[in-house]
Amino acid sequence: MPELPDVEGFREVLASCAKGRVVQRVEVRDTGVLHGFGVRRLREALEGRRFTEPERHGKWLLARTGDGPTLMLHFGMTGRLVCCRPEDPAEAHDRVLFTVSGGRQLRYRDQRKLQGLWLARDDGEVARRLERQGPDAMAVGSEEFETALSSRRGRLKPVLTDQSVLAGLGNLLADEILWRAGLRPDIPAHDLTEADRRRLYTQMRRTLRSAIAAGCVPPRDSWLTGRRDDPDPICPRCGTHLRRSRVAGRGTVWCPRCQPGGT
């Protein structure tokens, strides 16, 4: 599932492929990814306009067109944004194709179609679409982060992955960050000490910086992510057998030695 680092990578794809270029043609191959508008409106909104600097908030990508409308993209579980040439054959899961000047084509590719594209006429509509999103996990300050966590009574991992609390973290990132911070995923968020919250914030920032540089949550041997799918996973830090459980319905991997305490 694309998380904050993946979507930051898609933002870079959009910037390098289409920033400053005029949208010459929009081809919709599957209307199932359009939310609240149809093909004609999308073409009228974008064709002839120029993409400007894209933005990201959590798992949302904002494809802006200056003083024109903003295309808002969410990638669900299987979405991607790729840069191609217009003459490249379309793949089976290419849902919307944006041909831009300079012989490039931006493609929204998604197998499962759990999210898709929204169109916002102005900044007010963008803000309304994002109003239930918490602060971006990479941009949030330490005080705001600590306040958000201390006021929540749920278990820690579900709080971290609640997009209304913090935008951008998903299953892999949450497990990785909690492992690095030495905190079990099932402890109540409001039970964390001030030192716990500070350590968690620090590890979140470090993990995100490394993951953004990699363009994903990298499956490195030194990361929990690199071991979690092994048949008998071992903690890369201490060599203890990792445990698998479900926390709020999500498959969760953690180390009983490095992450003590909890229920």
What is the residue type of 27? E
- CA–CA dist 240, 257 (Å, integer): 7
Catalytic residue among 2, 54, 185, 233: 2
What's the alpha-carbon Rg for the chain, to the nearest Å? 20
Active-site residue flag, 59? yes
214-222 long-range Cβ contacts below 8 angstroms, 24+ apart = 214/5, 215/5, 215/6, 215/8, 215/9, 216/5, 216/6, 216/9, 217/3, 217/5, 217/172, 217/173, 217/176
Are the C-beta atoms of residues 26 and 46 closer than 8 Å to each other? yes
Cα-Cα-Cα-Cα dihedral of 64, 70, 76, 79, to 10°? -50
Block residue for tokens 């039970």: 191
Are the C-beta atoms of residues 118 and 36 closer than 8 Å to each other? yes
Catalytic residue among 8, 54, 56, 59: 59
- For the chain, how many residues are written? 263
Catalytic residue among 21, 104, 205, 250: 250
* Residue 113: CB atoms within 10 Å: 15
Tokens of 89: 């054959």
61 has which bridge partners?
A: 56, 73
Active-site residue flag, 2? yes
Active-site residue flag, 80? no
Catalytic residue among 3, 8, 146, 176: 3
Backbone angles phi, psi at 25, to 5 degrees: -155, 140
For the annotated catalytic residues, the residue numbers are: 2-3, 59, 250
